[in-house]
Structure formats: structure tokens, C-alpha cells
Amino acid sequence: MERRLVIKQVLIMAGGLALLPSCLREQGKSTILLKNMDISLDQENLMADIAETIIPRTNTPGAKQLKLHLFALKMVDDCYEKADQELFVKGLTAFQDQAQDLFSKSFGKLSLHQRESMLAKLENSTSPEQSGFYKIMKEKTIDGFLNSKYVMTNLIIYELVPGRYNGYFPVKTA
Amino acid sequence: MSNLNIDAAKANTFDVIVIGSGISGGWAAKEFTEKGFKTLVLERGRDVQHIKDYPTTNKFPYEFEHLGEPALAIKKENPIVSRCYAFKEDAMHFMVKDKEHPYIQEKPFDWIRGYQVGGKSLLWARQTQRWSDFDFEGPARDDFAVDWPIRYKDIAPWYSYVEKFAGIAGHRDGLAELPDGEFLPGFPLNAAEDYFKGVIKNKYPARHVISARCAHLSKPNQIHLDQGRAKCQNRILCQRGCPFGGYFSSNASTLPWAAKTGNLTLRPFSVVESVIYDDAKGKVTGVRVADTNTKEVTEYYARIVFINAGALNTNLILLNSKSKRFPRGLGNDSGVLGKYVAFHNYSARINAEYDGLKQYATDGRNPAGGGYIPRFRNLLKQEMNFKRGYAAGIYGSRYMERDRSGIGGSLKDNLLHGKLSPWIIGSHMMGETIPKESNFVSLSVSEKDAWGVPLLNISVAYDENDALMKADYIGQMTEMFTEAGFKNITPNVSSQSPGLDIHEMGGARMGRDPKTSVLNEWNQLHTCPNVFVTDGACMTSTSTQNPSLTYMAFTARSVDYAVKAMNRGEI
């Protein structure tokens, strides 16, 4: 009960973006408030595992820690046509089933090598569902990463107030 | 009861009423209040106070709901304003949503508006170039529209006057076609832009690439500090409103200046339904205002009315101000009002790559945006198969290419360690369009807005001249880019509708003859001397310069004239 209260009061930070938690947190549903899509907690967790495989934790945070999957989910929910959203969910579901079929395990339980090989296949997939889903998933994960607060304040610094312009800034040519 | 009415009338009486608080209305407010006149500024939108009402100004990209991209539902609800480059999450609260104020497109026209205190001066692209006599003499020399009733010498001192206060960064380039002004230090061209400038100087002696002139405080003078403004910090997030007051806007500059005099009354949420013409007195006595929230109608009175509602809305107000004397709209004996609307042709761009100068990139950001090529076609004489010509923006940049292929640690590494692209060179055209009777606005006879004001019909389109000019722009830029050794030259011809340039002008044009124009050489209605129009509606022709600086100069000049005329008892 206390945990729920805390969730209600605290925004979920995804990349740096403050997301509203789903208010009446139904058992097994997505943790963020969605306007259009119906995503289960399992599907959300699968997205987290896919995002983490795309951008893993190294000596810097990975997708899971930066909650890039929630950023991706928010973007798909708000910025895509209904048809694309449906294709996305279909692709996600098919991917989930595929992991079970191939390895009798959920994607998250697979070894890194197995996860990477599954995504490598998606990179070249011609199925509209799979490629449609994966293309968005990867693109949004990368967008979320490059525009995350962590990256913009630690790795590729975004300057809000540059206060200068140099049109002949010397750089290495190689 | 009658006493009450008299008191109410007194409370609603001012020396001057200014309709609109955008770039020209702000100037009218400043000039009148400084000279001691009690001035009422009416703004149809909400109040936006400098800094306090810039909610997104200090946000980082990741703090916007969708990294800046408006949600699909918003885009679908707003197909018109969504086409504007500035309609992003950081500034969309400063732009009119499609449903908020409908209009009728007899021909496709993207009418982009900013209804709030400060109007579009919060959002403008801040490019500021003076006109020259090559522009003012255009209609007479090339036989279109009507002759401008003024020449460069009439407006030059007023350009100086407004430039000193607004703060214009630029270099003294010494070009007759683009006269120098009262400049703060100009921003530099970068390596690629400078290189292109050199190529053009050698190969095309009559063409010039200069650093773009813009309304930014590159090095503020005391007059700018006195306004509470500070040096531009190269953020280039101007459309959000600038917490430094680094660029000129009504909100940062003229309106707070006017307020300090104690003579300003600013009334937001006030739609002007019409200007009141008193048939018995033979002049305008005030304006009729609907409160946008309560819809209550109130009349305000003044000796002089300045209409600065934004070009097309100024036409709307004049057309809707009908009286016995002016059954077709205020000052419209000639039937010219609403006609000869023109705009700028922004419908072509061109991009290329340059493989050289890889030892340089840029650091920080350039508020001027890059370079500017003043009009060179038909400049000294008519020489092409089309009338007039175009100016062009020109800018070079290098971006970080980040390899998005693959997955895992190597992808992450590639993303974090980008590679500088070659120089990307871009240009866009800014073409003059020819005002024509067939390009007009009029009042809908059947449809009204939420405040009972007729909707505006807009019937404005490109013509053959625009098409020929556009082809020439693409041809000439391709040739110049080729001369410079640029590669992958890619023209990008857009099918955008008029309006998206956000430089709509005319409808109440200036001229010498009341039979063919609406305003005289002082921006004063020929037939109703206590009404002035100094926004885009006054423009007899468009030339190629970004128009705002000229509106500012017209406004200051007009106020000076109006005050002198009042002192002489003429109005």
C-alpha cells in the first residue's frame, strides 16, 4: 500500500523525461500512463530487455537504468498512428512467442549471445510486423539514449547557454 | 445614470489607442507613451510578461514530453500551424491553434499567427535588413502595384532611430542595395560561408555574400541595458522567449519601456470588432472591443487610432468597420482595401556538401544563422523573363554523424563517438511577389467567429512570375554551388502554400492617390486622418527583405508625424 502511494507521488524519470505513472496501477499493466495503447507489464519488461540488448550497460548506464524502454513506449503511444501502434504490439507479441519457440524461455532469460542473435535477425527481417516493430523500438531507444539527461550532462554535453560562436573552430581532419 | 455613463466614457478614454502589441504595435506604444500620451494597447490574446511567461525557456531537450515533437493528436488537430517550422513543444504555446480562429481558404493559405502580448515578435526569425531605393522605386520602374509615396531618404533616419533602440548586429558592407545601418558588431561567417563568399566575389562581382544582419545584442549599449536586456548568449532558443532579452521583442523591449512611463494601459483578451466612425464628427472616435473571455463588448475612445493587428487582421478590422460614410469598410472609398495582398516566396531551398576545409568546424551557435545574399536579379535594370528577384540565405554547418547500425556495446560506442560530417551548405530563397488585385482578402458574408466578427476569406496564390523566379533561383544557386566545388547539390522545391513564409503584406497599401491606395505617405488613411496603419498591411510592394525592421521604422515615423499633426490641431 505504501509503495503504491509513493509511486503515485513520484514521477517516473525516463531518459530525463518525467512520465506520469499509471494512476490506478492495475496488476500486470504498464507502469506508465498510456493514452492509446494497452501494454502489459510483461510486454513492458520485454521492451526493457530488448532496449538493454540494443544499448547495454557498460562502464556507463544502459537502457534499462535510463528507462529508455519507457521513453520508447511513450513516443509510440503519443506520436504514432494507430495502425503503427497495432503493428508494434503485434511485432512485440510475435517476438515474445519466437523466443519461447526457439529457446523455450522468455527473451529476458536468454544469454546475451542468444538475445543479440535474435535482434540481429530482426535487423534484417522482411516481415512488416517484425521490422515495423523493431525499427521503431531501435530508433526510439537510440533517440532516447542520445537525448537522455545522463548522456547530455555527462557524455555529450548539451549547452543551454553557449555564450560564444567560433566559425573557425580547429578540429582534427582525420 | 447619465453621470455613470459619462464616468464610464471617461474611464474608457485615452489619447491614443493601439490595436495589437506585436512588433509594430509595441513601437507605437513606446513612442506615444514616451511623448506623454495616455495610450491603450489592445491585444486579443493573453498577457505574456518578459521572462516570467517563458515557461520553456530554460528547458533541456529531454525535458520536453516528446523531445520537442508535438504529439500526433496535436498535429492532426492542427494541420495548418503544424506546417510551421517553429511549431514544436518549446514554442507551440505561442502559436494560434487552427480551431482557435478559423478562416476561409478560397485558395490554400497557411495563416500562421501568434495571439498574445508581443504577438509574433516573440517568434520571429530576427533578420533585419533595410530597404533601399532599388526597392521603393520597384513598382514605378517595373510597372506594377502603385508607386511608393516615399523614398529611402524619407525612412533612412527612422531606420537609424529604431535600430539604435532595438539593437541590430551587422557589418558595414557598403552595398547600395542593402544600406548599412546603426550596427552593433556583426556575427562572423564561418569557414565554409567565408569560402563561398570568396568564390562569389571572384566569379560574380555583382553578387555579394554578407553575414546576416539580425536583431541580437552582440554587444549591448547603455540604451539596451536600460531596457533590462543583456548580451545575446548564443542559445538560439529564441522562439521560447529569451531570459536575457538577447533579441528584440515587444515583450523584452518596447512594452516594458512604455509601461515605465506610466502612460501605458495594456488590455489583453481584447478582440477589436471594429473601429468606430462618427458620421457627425467626420472622424474615428474609438474602437469596439469584445472581451475574449466574457464576450462583453466595450467601447474605448481616443483621438487617434493605430491599427497594428498584423497584416491580414488589420485588413479584417478595416473591412469590418462600416459606417454610413464608409459602407465598404473604413477608408475604402476606392474599393482597394483588402486587395493587392502579397507575400514572400520561400518555396525553394537547396543543399550541398563541401569536402574542403575539414580542419575547421563551428563551436557555439550563431544567432545570425549564417550569410545573406541580397537580391541581384533585375537590380539595376529589368533583364530577366520575370519581374523583380530574390534574396537568399546561405549557411554552412557540420554535424556529428553517429553510426546507428548494429547493436550492443559497439553501437553504444559508435553513438557516443560520432564523426564530423563534411560541411553541409544550405540556402533558401526569399522571393518578391507581385501584388495583384486578384490576391485579396474579404469578409465572409455568412460565417462569424466566436466574437461575432466575420471570418476572413483569403484568396492568395502564386503566379507564373513566382514559378519563373523560383526556377532561376535553383538554376543560379546550382551554378554558384558548382563554381564553389560543392558536391551532391540537391534542390528542394516545396509545394508549400503562401502564408507559411509568415510575411503576408498589403491590403491597405500606401500610395499617393486615394483612388488607388488606402494610406498616404505617413501611413495615414487618406480619407480618415486620425487612423494610421503601420504593420504589414501598409506595404505597397514586398521586395525581398525581411519586413519587420521596416514596420518598426514606419511606426516611429508615423507616430512622430501624428504627434506633430495633433500639436498643429490637424487631427
Instruction: Tell me if A163 is assigned to some domain.
Output: no
pLDDT at B260: 98
Are B28 and B257 a contacting pair, CB within 8 Å? no
State residue A14's pLDDT score: 78
Residue B522: Cβ within 10 Å count: 20
- Same domain, yes or no, for B232 and B124? yes
**Residue A8, pLDDT above cutoff 50:** no
Structural domain that includes position B192: 171-212+347-387+389-433+462-497
pLDDT at B1: 45
pLDDT band at A149 (very low <50, low <70, confident <90, very high): very high
* Domain encompassing residue A133: 2-155
B204 with B225, same domain: the answer is no
What local confidence, expressed as pLDDT, does residue A130 receive?
A: 85
Minimum-distance CB partner of B187 among A156, A165, A169? A165
**Does residue A35 fall inside a structural domain?**
yes
Query: How confident is residue A128, by pLDDT bands cut at 50, 70 and 90?
Result: confident
Whether pLDDT at A6 is above 70: no
For β-strands B104-105 and B454-459, DSSP reports them as parallel
Looking at the fold, whether B139 and B30 belong to one and the same domain comes out as yes
Model confidence over B524-533: pLDDT tens digits?
A: 999 999 999 9
Sites in chain B below the pLDDT cut of 50: 1
The pTM score is 0.95
For residue A166, being part of any structural domain is answered with no
B43 shares a domain with B175: no
Q: Is B172 in a helix, a strand, or coil?
A: coil
CA-to-CA distance for B562 and B62, rounded, in angstroms? Answer: 50
Domain identity same for B443 and B473: no
Residue A163 has pLDDT above 80, yes or no: yes
- What confidence score (pLDDT) does residue A7 get? 45
Residue B249, domain CATH: 3.50.50.60
A171 lies in a domain? no
Q: Residues of A numbered 147-166 whose beta carbons fall under 8 angstroms of chain B's beta carbons: which are they?
A: 147-149, 151-152, 155-156, 158-166
Residue A46 lies in a domain: yes
Are the C-beta atoms of residues B272 and B41 closer than 8 Å to each other?
A: no
pLDDT of A174 > 70? The answer is no
Buried b (16+ CB within 10 A) or exposed e, B554-569: bbbbbbbbbbebbeee
Confidence label for A129 from pLDDT (cuts 50, 70 and 90): confident
What angle is formed at CA B87 by the lines to CA B84 and CA B88, rounded to 5 degrees?
140
Inside any domain, residue A12: yes
B interface mutation test: which of A75, A139, A165 has the most B CBs within 10 A?
Answer: A165
pLDDT in tens, B224-270: 999 999 999 999 999 999 999 999 999 999 999 999 999 999 999 99
Tally the domains of chain A: 1
Selecting from B67, B363, B412 the residue whose C-beta is nearest the C-beta of A55 gives B412
Contact B398, B362 (CB under 8 A): yes
In terms of domains, do B272 and B415 share one?
no
Whether B133 and B282 share a structural domain: yes
Q: Tell me how many domains chain B contains.
A: 2
Q: Which of B54, B56, B58, B62 to mutate to test the interface with A (most CBs of A within 10 A)?
A: B62
Listed in sequence order, the residues at least 6 apart from B381 whose beta carbon sits closer than 8 Å to its beta carbon are: none
Residue A23 within a domain: yes
Taking alpha carbons only, the member of B114, B118, B518 closest to residue B318 is B518
Q: What is the pLDDT of residue A1?
A: 42
B104 and B153 fall within a common domain: yes
Contact call for A162 and B233, based on CB within 8 A: yes
Does residue A142 fall inside a structural domain? yes
Q: Does B403 lie in the same domain as B301?
A: no
Q: How far is A82 from chain B (nearest CA, A)?
A: 10
